[in-house]
Amino acid sequence: MPNPFRPDTSPYDALLLVSFGGPEGPDDVLPFLENVTRGRGIPRERLEEVGRHYHLFGGRSPINDLNRAFLDALRADLAAADIDLPVYWGNRNWDPYLRDTVERMAADGVTRAACFVTSAYSSWSSCRQYRENLYAAADGVPGAPRLDRLRHYFNHPGFVEPVVDAVLASLADLPDGVRDGARLVFVTHSIPASMNDASGPDGGAYLAQHRDVAAVVAERVQETNGVVRRHDLVFCSRSGTPHLPWLEPDVNEHLEILAAGGETAAVLVPVGFVSDHMEVVYDLDTEAAATAEKIGLEIRRAATPGTDPRFIAMVRDLLVERAAAERGEGPTRVAVGEIGPLWDRCPPGCCANPRGEVPAIGGA
């Protein structure tokens, strides 16, 4: 007998986890980086330099194992909610590739899948490119399912609440003498300034979204411990040619400025990332930690949402919300901060590809 309390996920008959991908061993590192940078003219010497970051961790990115853990938690969450929906996984840059996954979905008879992307913000590289990848993955595949990207979730409570608790835990771990004066340093991936200018339908969405969620987290932390703290938004993982302006300041430069100005402690909050992949374990836990030690700044790094049950449940919430919208039922959309819940289908011209128009799924 059907369960009348089971969340209705129709018209979807599958869920697809869409991620970046990463090398699984030393021999994969350069081919992976070539996939990531194809068409951008990045010199091989620069790829080898970045490749050394991976070799510090055995030539293996943590991201695929993190996604496997995420998939296990997500499948368990759906089963606990009595949602019988297959969950697939496809990457942009490494096995399992999106194309292979879409072909398998077609062979399995999937007709329509909701897509959860492990990137929470608007820009070409963090949104539109994934939409282009999904279009290309399905293009020409006989019987390919329709693919619908779930909405942005940077301001969903299921993402924000784990970040707040992670900041509070990091503050509690600081020594008593510096805890109350600790600065909150929110960190995200740098992108070209021109890409930020083209992000969202009206430009500037990438920065605006990060600033909005950082303000919410800082306010929630203040409400909990009663300490007013300054907070900053900084960047990591810059790449590309030196003459092209990227979003600044770099996290290491910012920590040096804080120490020079008399600050004694900071909590690094990787708000731009959903799990502890390479930009977190190298750029923050390795490089920024070394900078902080050199300049005598006490730091802690807040955890990413990862497999926090609230973050996992958020995926289910977004799936059920979108399914209701597709059935014309006008669901309630939860969000915190000033921006509010974003769209299901991206507006025309949203997050334009810097190289020109490329077909993408999920447009209005």
The pLDDT of residue 47 is 85
Residue 337 domain-assigned (yes or no): no
Domain range for residue 97? 14-153+307-326
**Tokens (6 digits) for 176:** 């008593």
Instruction: Residue count of the chain, please give it.
Output: 364
pLDDT in tens, 301-313: 999 999 999 999 9
H or E element that contains 67: helix 63-80
User: ω into residue 96 within 30 of 0, thus cis?
Assistant: yes
Q: What are phi and psi of 351, to 5 degrees?
A: 55, 55
The pLDDT of residue 354 is 92
Asked whether the beta carbons of 155 and 43 are under 8 A apart, the reply is no
Counting the structural domains of the chain, the total is: 2
Residue 85 belongs to domain with CATH number: 3.40.50.1400
Spans in the chain with pLDDT lower than 70: 1-4, 41
> Model-level pTM greater than 0.85?
yes
pLDDT in tens, 68-102: 999 999 999 999 999 999 999 999 999 999 999 99
Residue 347 domain-assigned (yes or no): no
Quote the mean pLDDT of the chain: 95
Residues 266 and 181 both lie in one domain = yes
Residue 340 domain-assigned (yes or no): no
User: ω into residue 331 within 30 of 0, thus cis?
Assistant: no
The pLDDT of residue 266 is 98
Residues 103 and 185 both lie in one domain = no
Between CA 39 and CA 34 the distance in angstroms is 9
Residues 203 and 295 both lie in one domain = yes
Contacts of 266 (CB under 8 A, 6+ apart): 182, 183, 184, 185, 255, 258, 292, 297, 298, 299
